[in-house]
Protein backbone atom coordinates (compact mmCIF):
# COMPACT_ATOMS: atom_id res chain seq x y z
CA UNK A 1 0.00 0.00 0.00
CA UNK A 2 1.37 3.44 -0.91
CA UNK A 3 1.41 5.78 2.10
CA UNK A 4 0.28 9.40 1.74
CA UNK A 5 1.49 12.13 4.06
CA UNK A 6 0.93 15.84 4.44
CA UNK A 7 4.46 17.24 4.20
CA UNK A 8 5.52 20.13 6.39
CA UNK A 9 7.62 22.42 4.24
CA UNK A 10 11.21 22.99 5.10
CA UNK A 11 12.41 25.94 3.10
CA UNK A 12 16.12 25.38 2.73
CA UNK A 13 18.44 26.96 0.26
CA UNK A 14 18.92 25.35 -3.10
CA UNK A 15 21.63 22.70 -3.01
CA UNK A 16 23.99 23.31 -5.84
CA UNK A 17 27.19 21.53 -6.65
CA UNK A 18 29.30 24.61 -7.30
CA UNK A 19 30.67 23.56 -10.59
CA UNK A 20 33.52 25.46 -12.21
CA UNK A 21 33.50 26.18 -15.93
CA UNK A 22 34.67 24.01 -18.82
CA UNK A 23 38.54 23.93 -18.68
CA UNK A 24 41.72 22.07 -19.75
CA UNK A 25 43.28 19.13 -17.83
CA UNK A 26 46.90 17.98 -17.83
CA UNK A 27 48.09 14.37 -17.84
CA UNK A 28 49.15 12.97 -14.47
CA UNK A 29 51.53 10.18 -15.50
CA UNK A 30 51.67 7.17 -13.20
CA UNK A 31 49.17 8.65 -10.75
CA UNK A 32 45.47 8.03 -10.15
CA UNK A 33 45.02 11.33 -8.31
CA UNK A 34 42.85 13.94 -10.05
CA UNK A 35 44.78 16.80 -11.63
CA UNK A 36 42.99 20.15 -11.76
CA UNK A 37 43.56 22.31 -14.82
CA UNK A 38 43.34 26.03 -15.33
CA UNK A 39 40.04 27.59 -16.35
CA UNK A 40 39.52 28.33 -20.01
CA UNK A 41 36.82 30.23 -21.85
CA UNK A 42 34.85 28.49 -24.57
CA UNK A 43 34.93 30.64 -27.71
CA UNK A 44 32.13 29.95 -30.20
CA UNK A 45 31.46 31.59 -33.56
CA UNK A 46 27.90 32.20 -34.68
CA UNK A 47 26.38 31.88 -31.22
CA UNK A 48 24.12 34.88 -31.90
CA UNK A 49 22.07 32.60 -34.21
CA UNK A 50 21.55 29.92 -31.55
CA UNK A 51 18.15 29.18 -30.00
CA UNK A 52 18.93 25.93 -28.14
CA UNK A 53 21.78 24.03 -26.47
CA UNK A 54 22.49 20.28 -26.67
CA UNK A 55 25.30 19.14 -24.36
CA UNK A 56 26.64 15.61 -23.94
CA UNK A 57 29.50 14.13 -21.91
CA UNK A 58 30.72 10.88 -20.37
CA UNK A 59 31.86 12.30 -17.00
CA UNK A 60 30.82 15.90 -16.28
CA UNK A 61 29.29 18.21 -13.72
CA UNK A 62 27.18 20.84 -15.46
CA UNK A 63 25.93 24.22 -14.26
CA UNK A 64 23.70 26.28 -16.56
CA UNK A 65 22.38 29.69 -15.52
CA UNK A 66 19.83 31.77 -17.40
CA UNK A 67 20.84 35.28 -18.33
CA UNK A 68 19.26 38.28 -20.05
CA UNK A 69 22.57 38.81 -21.83
CA UNK A 70 24.50 36.67 -24.27
CA UNK A 71 26.21 33.30 -24.07
CA UNK A 72 29.29 32.72 -21.95
CA UNK A 73 30.92 29.37 -21.28
CA UNK A 74 33.98 28.05 -19.46
CA UNK A 75 35.41 24.62 -18.77
CA UNK A 76 38.05 22.62 -16.97
CA UNK A 77 38.79 18.92 -16.66
CA UNK A 78 40.24 16.67 -13.94
CA UNK A 79 42.20 13.56 -14.86
CA UNK A 80 40.61 10.33 -13.69
CA UNK A 81 43.89 8.50 -14.24
CA UNK A 82 44.53 5.78 -16.75
CA UNK A 83 41.66 3.31 -17.07
CA UNK A 84 42.85 -0.18 -16.05
CA UNK A 85 42.25 -1.58 -19.52
CA UNK A 86 44.42 1.19 -20.99
CA UNK A 87 47.20 0.53 -18.47
CA UNK A 88 47.19 -3.17 -19.36
CA UNK A 89 47.37 -2.30 -23.07
CA UNK A 90 50.04 0.37 -22.58
CA UNK A 91 47.77 3.11 -23.93
CA UNK A 92 48.63 6.55 -22.47
CA UNK A 93 46.07 9.06 -21.25
CA UNK A 94 45.65 11.81 -23.80
CA UNK A 95 45.52 15.42 -22.61
CA UNK A 96 42.01 16.74 -22.09
CA UNK A 97 40.82 18.66 -25.12
CA UNK A 98 38.35 21.50 -25.11
CA UNK A 99 34.78 20.32 -25.65
CA UNK A 100 33.85 20.01 -29.30
CA UNK A 101 31.36 22.70 -30.34
CA UNK A 102 29.25 23.16 -33.45
CA UNK A 103 26.52 25.63 -34.35
CA UNK A 104 24.03 24.00 -36.70
CA UNK A 105 20.53 25.13 -37.70
CA UNK A 106 20.04 27.32 -34.62
CA UNK A 107 21.42 24.76 -32.17
CA UNK A 108 24.68 24.83 -30.23
CA UNK A 109 26.12 21.32 -29.90
CA UNK A 110 28.71 20.72 -27.15
CA UNK A 111 30.46 17.36 -26.64
CA UNK A 112 32.95 16.57 -23.85
CA UNK A 113 33.50 12.84 -24.11
CA UNK A 114 37.09 12.01 -23.20
CA UNK A 115 36.38 9.25 -20.66
CA UNK A 116 39.80 9.74 -19.00
CA UNK A 117 38.66 13.12 -17.62
CA UNK A 118 35.82 14.51 -15.58
CA UNK A 119 34.72 17.81 -17.10
CA UNK A 120 33.28 20.75 -15.21
CA UNK A 121 31.12 22.95 -17.43
CA UNK A 122 29.56 26.26 -16.55
CA UNK A 123 27.46 28.26 -19.02
CA UNK A 124 25.46 31.46 -18.88
CA UNK A 125 22.82 31.18 -21.61
CA UNK A 126 19.84 33.28 -22.76
CA UNK A 127 16.85 32.24 -20.69
CA UNK A 128 14.64 31.58 -23.71
CA UNK A 129 16.89 28.83 -25.12
CA UNK A 130 15.80 25.22 -25.10
CA UNK A 131 18.24 22.94 -23.23
CA UNK A 132 19.15 19.26 -23.57
CA UNK A 133 21.83 17.72 -21.31
CA UNK A 134 22.94 14.08 -21.46
CA UNK A 135 25.55 12.63 -19.06
CA UNK A 136 26.29 9.08 -20.17
CA UNK A 137 28.36 7.80 -17.22
CA UNK A 138 28.45 10.08 -14.17
CA UNK A 139 27.87 13.71 -13.24
CA UNK A 140 25.55 16.17 -11.51
CA UNK A 141 23.41 18.65 -13.42
CA UNK A 142 22.23 22.04 -12.09
CA UNK A 143 20.07 24.35 -14.26
CA UNK A 144 18.43 27.60 -13.13
CA UNK A 145 16.08 30.23 -14.48
CA UNK A 146 15.17 28.86 -17.90
CA UNK A 147 12.01 29.81 -19.75
CA UNK A 148 12.55 27.37 -22.62
CA UNK A 149 11.95 23.62 -22.39
CA UNK A 150 14.60 21.71 -20.40
CA UNK A 151 15.56 18.05 -20.84
CA UNK A 152 18.29 16.66 -18.57
CA UNK A 153 19.42 13.04 -18.16
CA UNK A 154 22.25 11.64 -16.04
CA UNK A 155 23.28 8.00 -15.80
CA UNK A 156 24.82 8.63 -12.37
CA UNK A 157 24.32 11.77 -10.28
CA UNK A 158 21.69 14.25 -9.15
CA UNK A 159 19.70 16.52 -11.44
CA UNK A 160 18.36 19.85 -10.10
CA UNK A 161 16.30 22.36 -12.09
CA UNK A 162 15.44 25.62 -10.31
CA UNK A 163 13.15 28.55 -11.16
CA UNK A 164 11.86 26.78 -14.25
CA UNK A 165 8.95 28.26 -16.23
CA UNK A 166 9.06 26.06 -19.34
CA UNK A 167 8.27 22.37 -19.76
CA UNK A 168 10.75 19.86 -18.32
CA UNK A 169 11.85 16.25 -18.69
CA UNK A 170 14.30 15.21 -15.97
CA UNK A 171 15.88 11.79 -15.39
CA UNK A 172 18.42 10.71 -12.74
CA UNK A 173 19.17 7.05 -13.39
CA UNK A 174 21.24 6.66 -10.20
CA UNK A 175 20.53 9.73 -8.10
CA UNK A 176 17.80 12.11 -7.02
CA UNK A 177 15.91 14.65 -9.11
CA UNK A 178 14.34 17.98 -8.15
CA UNK A 179 12.40 20.61 -10.10
CA UNK A 180 11.34 24.02 -8.80
CA UNK A 181 8.58 25.10 -11.23
CA UNK A 182 7.59 28.76 -10.92
CA UNK A 183 5.43 29.30 -14.02
CA UNK A 184 1.75 30.16 -13.76
CA UNK A 185 0.85 27.55 -16.38
CA UNK A 186 2.48 24.47 -17.82
CA UNK A 187 2.61 24.64 -21.60
CA UNK A 188 3.10 20.94 -22.32
CA UNK A 189 3.51 17.53 -20.67
CA UNK A 190 6.50 17.21 -18.33
CA UNK A 191 8.19 14.45 -16.35
CA UNK A 192 10.64 13.60 -13.54
CA UNK A 193 12.16 10.16 -13.13
CA UNK A 194 14.68 8.88 -10.58
CA UNK A 195 16.22 5.67 -9.31
CA UNK A 196 17.94 6.42 -6.01
CA UNK A 197 20.30 3.90 -4.38
CA UNK A 198 18.30 3.47 -1.16
CA UNK A 199 14.92 4.42 0.24
CA UNK A 200 16.70 6.84 2.60
CA UNK A 201 17.54 9.09 -0.30
CA UNK A 202 15.41 12.13 -1.10
CA UNK A 203 14.24 10.78 -4.42
CA UNK A 204 11.99 13.13 -6.41
CA UNK A 205 11.02 16.61 -5.28
CA UNK A 206 8.73 18.95 -7.20
CA UNK A 207 7.69 22.40 -5.99
CA UNK A 208 4.90 24.22 -7.79
CA UNK A 209 2.58 27.22 -7.42
CA UNK A 210 -0.50 26.04 -5.50
CA UNK A 211 -2.79 27.28 -8.27
CA UNK A 212 -1.13 25.26 -11.04
CA UNK A 213 -3.60 23.26 -13.14
CA UNK A 214 -2.11 19.87 -14.01
CA UNK A 215 -2.72 16.14 -14.14
CA UNK A 216 -0.27 14.20 -11.98
CA UNK A 217 0.72 10.66 -12.94
CA UNK A 218 2.69 9.22 -10.03
CA UNK A 219 4.55 5.90 -9.78
CA UNK A 220 6.65 5.06 -6.71
CA UNK A 221 7.59 2.21 -4.41
CA UNK A 222 8.06 4.70 -1.56
CA UNK A 223 5.96 7.39 0.08
CA UNK A 224 4.17 10.33 -1.52
CA UNK A 225 4.56 13.53 0.51
CA UNK A 226 2.53 16.65 -0.19
CA UNK A 227 1.41 19.84 1.53
CA UNK A 228 -1.33 20.47 -1.07
CA UNK A 229 -4.65 19.35 0.51
CA UNK A 230 -6.50 19.01 -2.84
CA UNK A 231 -3.74 16.75 -4.14
CA UNK A 232 -3.70 14.69 -0.94
CA UNK A 233 -7.47 14.24 -1.19
CA UNK A 234 -7.18 13.18 -4.82
CA UNK A 235 -4.48 10.64 -4.00
CA UNK A 236 -6.66 9.07 -1.32
CA UNK A 237 -9.63 8.99 -3.67
CA UNK A 238 -7.48 7.21 -6.28
CA UNK A 239 -7.49 4.10 -4.04
CA UNK A 240 -3.81 3.38 -4.67
CA UNK A 241 -2.65 -0.22 -4.62
CA UNK A 242 1.07 0.56 -4.38
CA UNK A 243 3.95 -0.40 -6.63
CA UNK A 244 4.75 1.29 -9.90
CA UNK A 245 1.24 1.30 -11.35
CA UNK A 246 0.69 5.01 -12.09
CA UNK A 247 -1.85 7.02 -10.12
CA UNK A 248 -3.67 9.75 -12.02
CA UNK A 249 -4.73 12.77 -9.96
CA UNK A 250 -6.05 16.14 -11.12
CA UNK A 251 -5.03 19.40 -9.46
CA UNK A 252 -7.13 22.53 -9.96
CA UNK A 253 -9.25 20.88 -12.63
CA UNK A 254 -6.37 19.26 -14.48
CA UNK A 255 -4.14 20.37 -17.32
CA UNK A 256 -0.95 19.17 -19.02
CA UNK A 257 0.39 16.02 -17.39
CA UNK A 258 3.34 15.83 -15.00
CA UNK A 259 4.68 12.28 -14.70
CA UNK A 260 6.65 11.46 -11.53
CA UNK A 261 8.32 8.04 -11.37
CA UNK A 262 10.69 6.84 -8.65
CA UNK A 263 11.57 3.16 -8.63
CA UNK A 264 13.37 3.21 -5.26
CA UNK A 265 12.47 6.23 -3.19
CA UNK A 266 9.91 8.84 -2.23
CA UNK A 267 8.08 11.53 -4.18
CA UNK A 268 7.55 15.03 -2.74
CA UNK A 269 5.11 17.54 -4.24
CA UNK A 270 5.21 20.84 -2.38
CA UNK A 271 3.66 24.27 -2.83
CA UNK A 272 5.61 27.49 -3.05
CA UNK A 273 5.05 29.95 -0.21
CA 17 to chain centre: 12
What digits encode the pLDDT tens for the residues 244-262?
677 889 999 999 999 999 8
**Per-residue pLDDT reduced to its tens digit, 186-241:** 999 999 999 876 655 568 999 999 999 999 999 888 888 899 988 887 777 665 55
Q: How many helices (H) and strands (E) does the chain have?
A: 2, 20
CA distance 166 to 136: 24
Cα–Cα distance, 95 to 103 (Å, whole number): 25
Condensed to tens digits (0 to 9), the pLDDT of residues 44-79 reads 889 999 999 999 999 999 999 999 999 999 999 998
Query: Residue ranges of the domains in the chain?
Result: 16-157
For 46-69, b/e burial (b = at least 16 CB within 10 A) is ebeebebbbbbbbbbbbbbbbeee
* Range list of β-strands (E), the chain: 4-6, 40-41, 52-67, 72-79, 100-104, 107-112, 117-126, 130-138, 141-144, 150-154, 159-164, 168-172, 177-181, 190-194, 204-208, 214-220, 224-226, 247-251, 257-262, 267-271
* Alpha-carbon span 235 to 229, nearest angstrom: 10
Report the percent of the chain where pLDDT is more than 70.
Answer: 75
pLDDT at 243 > cutoff 70: no
Cα-to-chain-centroid distance, residue 39: 23
Amino acid sequence: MIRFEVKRRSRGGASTAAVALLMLGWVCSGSLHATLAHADELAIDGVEKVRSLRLSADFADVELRATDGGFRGSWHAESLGEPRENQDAGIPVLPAAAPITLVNDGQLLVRAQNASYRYHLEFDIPRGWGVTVQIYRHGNVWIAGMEGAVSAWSAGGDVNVLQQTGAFSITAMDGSAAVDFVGNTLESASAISAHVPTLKERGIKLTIPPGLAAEFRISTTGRIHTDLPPLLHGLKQANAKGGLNPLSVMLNGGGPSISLRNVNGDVEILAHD
